[in-house]
Amino acid sequence: METITFDQLPQAVSKLQDKLESIEQLLLRQQEQQPSLEELMPITQAAQFLDLAVPTVYSKVCRKEIPVNKRGKRLYFYRSELTEWIKSGRKKTADEIREEAVQQLGISRKGSKTI
């Protein structure tokens, strides 16, 4: 880091301000590109987010398979709820199932029961 003299101070502050504005613009662009997890979406946007057809989303709503908010005749979806719904469908690996079974049975790795 270079030492700034008193005479260079105005230029340094100007340079610092330019960099700060640049960072601010980058953050604003990033915020616009990444919607909030609490974003409320209409059904068309939710279908696009889930990569499903709109009629498929309606079917899942009718069967109460998917979290939904209804206002009048309109359906709305929270991005965070849809993300959690997707995560809840995760299938466990064989190793995870085996480890869970071992824990449930109370069997140690050596094969003897733990008390």
The reply to whether 7 falls in a domain is no
Angstrom distance (rounded) from CA 101 to CA 104? 5
The reply to whether 5 falls in a domain is no
The reply to whether 12 falls in a domain is no
pLDDT given for residue 39 in this prediction: 82
pTM of the model: 0.53
Asked if residue 80 lies in contact with residue 40, where contact means CB atoms within 8 angstroms, the answer is no
The reply to whether 78 falls in a domain is yes
Angstrom distance (rounded) from CA 56 to CA 37? 22
Express each pLDDT in 5-37 by its tens digit.
889 899 999 999 999 999 999 988 887 776 665
The reply to whether 74 falls in a domain is yes
Residue 45 domain boundaries = 40-88
Express each pLDDT in 67-99 by its tens digit.
999 999 999 999 989 999 999 888 889 998 899
Q: 70: helix, coil or strand?
A: strand
Q: Report how many domains make up the chain.
A: 1
The reply to whether 95 falls in a domain is no
The reply to whether 3 falls in a domain is no
The reply to whether 1 falls in a domain is no
Angstrom distance (rounded) from CA 99 to CA 107? 10
Tokens describing residue 109: 């790795």
